[in-house]
Copies of this chain bind each other. A is one copy, B any other.
C-alpha cells in the first residue's frame, strides 16, 4: 500500500475526482467527513455510519484530549479500537476549539495556553503537542496546529498570526518528519480576509512538504460573498497534486461551490447538528420536521432517498418523535442528513466523471433557493 498517494482520476473545469490512500483504506474524493467530536458521531454507532456509506470521519483533538484523554485512548490501542470505527479518521489540531470554546486562552510564539471548558483546568497546546496527541489517537490524517483568526481581526494582527501559523506548521512537520507515514499530516492556510495575507500564507504553507493542504479560517461569520472570494483566491494556490481540504464547510451548496473551486475534502457539523434541531435536507429542499404540516404526512421524509430512515418511517412518525423529544428522533434524523450529504458527494463524483458538474450545481441551486420547505 502506498499511504498518502493522491491520484487525480479526472477533472471537470476546476472540479476534481480523486482517490486518497490512507493507512486504513482508500477514500474517494470529493468526500464529506461527518464530525465525530468525542469519539462518536452524535447518536450514531459505527455500524450506522458504515451503512450510510461514510468513508472517513473527523475527530476533535481538543475534546478527546480533555475527555477521555489521548493517552487513555492510546492505551486502548487508538481511537479506532476504542470507538469501533474501522475506516479512516481525520483529527483536527484542536486549534479551532481552543479559540472558540476554551476560556482565558493566551497565545504566544510557543503555543496556546487555555482553560478547559469542562472544568476550568489549565492546559497548553504547542504544535509539537498537537502532533503528539493526534499520534496518540492514531489518526489517519492529522492537522497542524494553526491560529484561526476571527472575522473581526485587523490586518496587523492577522499578519502576525499568519507568521505564527507558518512557524507552527514548520515545527509540526519537524515533530513528525515522516512524509506519507502511517499518520498523514496536512498543513493549513490561514490569512483571514486579506487577499495578500491569504496569498502569503498559501505560499509559505505550500512550501512545506505536507501530505495535503487545507484552507482554514473560512465560514467564521463573514458574508457569503467574502467566503466565496477567499475560496476562489486560495484554492488555485494549493498544489494541484495534493488533496485540498476546506475546513468546517458547509451547507450543501457551499460544498458544491467548494468542489467547483477544486476542493476535495469537507467536514461540517451542519448535517448532524441540524438533524438534532429537526432541520432536514431533502431532494426537494429543507424540511423543518417540527412543522404542523407533517403531522399526518404518511410519506417518507424524502421519497428519493433510500436511507434507513426514509425506508422505514413516515414524516408523521418523525414529527411525533421530534415533538416528544424522543431519543430515536436524533438518530433517525442524523442518519438521513448524513445520507443526504453522502449522496451529494457521490453525485458530485459521478457528475465530474461525466463532465456535467456545473449542471449538478445548477440543479441543487434550484432545490435550495427560494423556498425552505419541501
Contact assessment for B42 and A298 in the assembled complex, using a CB-CB cutoff below 8 Å: no
Contact assessment for B84 and A40 in the assembled complex, using a CB-CB cutoff below 8 Å: no
Q: Which of A240-248, A256-264, A323-331 lies at the binding interface?
A: A323-331
Q: Which of A200-208, A218-226, A311-319 lies at the binding interface?
A: A311-319
Nearest-CB residue, chain B, relative to A313? B84
Nearest-CB residue, chain B, relative to A39? B320
- Find A327's partner among B39, B43, B67, B82 (CB 8 Å cutoff): B43
Q: Which of A68-76, A89-97, A229-237 lies at the binding interface?
A: A68-76
In this assembly, does A38 line the interface, its C-beta being within 8 Å of a C-beta of chain B? yes
Which residues of B have CB within 8 Å of A326?
A: 38-40, 42
Taken together as a complex, chains A and B put the C-alpha atoms of A38 and B39 apart, in Å, by 30
Taken together as a complex, chains A and B put the C-alpha atoms of A205 and B36 apart, in Å, by 55
Which residues of B have CB within 8 Å of A38?
A: 320, 324, 326
Which residues of B have CB within 8 Å of A366?
A: none
Interchain nearest-CB distance for A97 vs B (Å): 14
Contact assessment for B320 and A67 in the assembled complex, using a CB-CB cutoff below 8 Å: yes
B-facing residues in A315-374 (Cβ within 8 Å): 316-317, 319-321, 323-324, 326-328, 330-332
In this assembly, does A178 line the interface, its C-beta being within 8 Å of a C-beta of chain B? no
Nearest-CB residue, chain B, relative to A329? B40
Pick from A295, A321, A328 the residue with the most CB of B within 10 Å. A328
The size of the chain A interface, using a CB distance under 8 A, is 36
Return the CB mask of A73-85 against B: 1 if under 8 Å, else 0.
0011000001110
Taken together as a complex, chains A and B put the C-alpha atoms of A331 and B313 apart, in Å, by 18
A68-B295 contact, Cβ under 8 Å, with A45-B328, A45-B332: yes
In this assembly, does A152 line the interface, its C-beta being within 8 Å of a C-beta of chain B? no
Which residues of B have CB within 8 Å of A316?
A: 68, 72, 76, 82
Which residues of B have CB within 8 Å of A312?
A: 45-47, 84
In this assembly, does A296 line the interface, its C-beta being within 8 Å of a C-beta of chain B? yes
Taken together as a complex, chains A and B put the C-alpha atoms of A324 and B37 apart, in Å, by 11
In this assembly, does A287 line the interface, its C-beta being within 8 Å of a C-beta of chain B? no
Taken together as a complex, chains A and B put the C-alpha atoms of A75 and B314 apart, in Å, by 13
Contact assessment for B323 and A45 in the assembled complex, using a CB-CB cutoff below 8 Å: no
Contact assessment for A328 and B84 in the assembled complex, using a CB-CB cutoff below 8 Å: no
B-facing residues in A36-58 (Cβ within 8 Å): 38-40, 42-47
Pick from A83, A298, A327 the residue with the most CB of B within 10 Å. A327
Contact assessment for B72 and A295 in the assembled complex, using a CB-CB cutoff below 8 Å: yes
Taken together as a complex, chains A and B put the C-alpha atoms of A228 and B67 apart, in Å, by 45
Which residues of B have CB within 8 Å of A327?
A: 42-43, 327, 330-331
Taken together as a complex, chains A and B put the C-alpha atoms of A330 and B40 apart, in Å, by 13
- Find A44's partner among B67, B72, B296, B328 (CB 8 Å cutoff): B328
Given A45-B331, A68-B295, A76-B296, 20 additional A-B pairs, CB 8 A = A39-B320, A39-B324, A39-B326, A43-B327, A43-B328, A45-B328, A67-B320, A68-B323, A72-B295, A72-B296, A72-B316, A76-B298, A76-B314, A76-B316, A82-B314, A82-B316, A82-B317, A84-B312, A84-B317, A327-B327
Q: List 27 A-B contacts (CB under 8 A).
A: A38-B320, A39-B317, A39-B321, A40-B326, A40-B328, A42-B326, A43-B327, A43-B328, A45-B312, A45-B328, A45-B331, A45-B332, A47-B312, A67-B320, A67-B323, A68-B316, A68-B324, A72-B295, A72-B296, A72-B316, A75-B296, A76-B314, A76-B317, A82-B314, A82-B317, A83-B317, A327-B327
